[in-house]
């Protein structure tokens, strides 16, 4: 019989395990509405699990009560500051919304002055098609965003409910999920797979925690600097700068664009305030590039800069900004798996 052979049993187990992994990956790609909040919840659970274990150890209560305690404390720590900041963000968002037409008129006026100056000096007249085409494209993007905004808001509220819900059960039943998943792992690869899973979880949790700290530092520096300079909407500009900084390479540029637009409208393109804002953003990103990123992020993923750049480009091509954010930990996980397979094959051969 087929099951009578030990080798055949191992092959069947490996095949079945591979099918389960492939099916899980397929479901993740096919059902983003569920897989994205579950992925976010999984990352949060990796960050909160050590805290829950600490509460269990010192409070002598079970895992469910410890998880509830952590959620209550976390909700208080997040909810109280948000209750104070959200009204300010709402007002500053409305201010930015009202400023957009003024920014457009300012750009057109400055371009017309520059065109007249160049024509007077050289006799050459610049074509204005590119400027108006760019402004039209920006207006189109803003219109499309406004149309899709209700869907974005609905998705956000859906995530606000689902992510904590999934996170709670992923923490409370972490041991059950782990034992169930490992029960499908064949004995021949059990130790290697357990090690890879452990290292992947640690790298993933540490990476996103490091990115969170990176965003807080950059956003904090920019918010503080803009407030000291008296620039309007400093809080929301700092928040946007910290949030976009999560995106590798292009994030700092995306965070700088609204600051340039608002400062240009309020103080002028060639004003000292504009120079001060640009210097502030340069300092914040220099702190990130030379201190925060090398000591926090790069040591965690341990990837060559060329690999990081290629992975970000590929992630952007297939999944946009989301792909750029998750590309680095995904490539780090692939590297971990390939390294283990390589060690397994060549270590066995050397023996």
> With a threshold of 0.75, does the pTM exceed it?
no
Distance CA 61, CA 58 (A): 8
Instruction: Kindly list the distances between the CA atom of residue 140 and the CA atoms of 15, 123, 136, 151, in Å, as whole numbers in the listed order.
Output: 50, 34, 6, 18
| Mean pLDDT of successive 10-residue stretches along the chain, which has 351 residues | 62 82 82 83 85 85 88 83 72 69 72 73 66 68 67 79 90 86 81 82 81 87 89 84 83 85 77 87 86 72 76 79 78 81 65 51
Residues in contact with 13: Cβ distance below 8 Å, sequence separation at least 6, in sequence order: 186, 187, 188
Pick from 235, 243, 237, 236: nearest CA to 214: 243
Q: How much is the pLDDT for 347?
A: 63
Q: How much is the pLDDT for 2?
A: 47
Q: How much is the pLDDT for 147?
A: 65
Q: How much is the pLDDT for 221?
A: 92
Q: How much is the pLDDT for 324?
A: 79
Distance CA 232, CA 235 (A): 9
Q: How much is the pLDDT for 165?
A: 92
Q: How much is the pLDDT for 247?
A: 81
Residues in contact with 59: Cβ distance below 8 Å, sequence separation at least 6, in sequence order: 66, 69
Is the backbone of residue 61 left (phi > 0), alpha (psi -120 to 50) or beta? beta
């Amino acid at each position: 019989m087929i099951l009578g052979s030990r080798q055949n049993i191992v092959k069947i187990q490996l095949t079945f395990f591979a099918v389960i992994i492939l099916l899980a990956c397929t479901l993740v790609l096919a059902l983003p509405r569920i897989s994205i909040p579950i992925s976010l919840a999984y990352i949060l659970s990796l960050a909160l699990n050590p805290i829950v274990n600490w509460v269990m150890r010192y409070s002598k209560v079970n895992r469910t009560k410890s998880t509830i305690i952590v959620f209550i404390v976390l909700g208080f720590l997040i909810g109280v500051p948000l209750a104070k900041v959200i009204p300010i963000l709402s007002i500053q968002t409305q201010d930015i919304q009202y400023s957009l037409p003024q920014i457009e008129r300012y750009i057109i006026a400055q371009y017309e002055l520059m065109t007249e100056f160049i024509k007077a000096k050289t006799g050459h007249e610049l074509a204005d098609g590119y400027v108006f085409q760019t402004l039209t494209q920006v207006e189109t993007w803003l219109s499309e965003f406004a149309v899709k905004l209700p869907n974005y808001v609905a998705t956000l509220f859906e995530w606000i409910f689902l992510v904590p819900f999934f996170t709670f059960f992923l923490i409370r039943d972490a041991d059950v999920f782990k034992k169930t998943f490992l029960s499908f792992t064949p004995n021949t690869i059990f130790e290697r797979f357990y090690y890879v899973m452990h290292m992947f979880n640690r790298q993933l949790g540490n990476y996103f925690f490091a990115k969170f700290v990176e965003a807080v530092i950059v956003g904090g520096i920019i918010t503080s600097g803009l407030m000291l300079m008296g620039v309007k909407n400093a809080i929301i500009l700092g928040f946007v700068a910290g949030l976009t900084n999560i995106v590798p390479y292009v994030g700092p540029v995306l965070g700088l664009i609204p600051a340039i637009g608002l400062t240009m409208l309020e103080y002028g393109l060639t004003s000292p305030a504009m120079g001060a804002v640009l210097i502030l953003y340069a300092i914040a990103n220099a702190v990130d590039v030379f201190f925060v990123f090398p000591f926090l992020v790069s040591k965690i993923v341990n990837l060559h800069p060329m690999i990081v750049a290629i992975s970000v480009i590929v992630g952007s091509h297939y999944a946009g900004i989301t792909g750029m954010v998750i590309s680095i930990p995904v490539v780090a996980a692939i590297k971990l798996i390939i390294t283990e397979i390589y060690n397994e094959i060549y270590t066995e051969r050397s023996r």
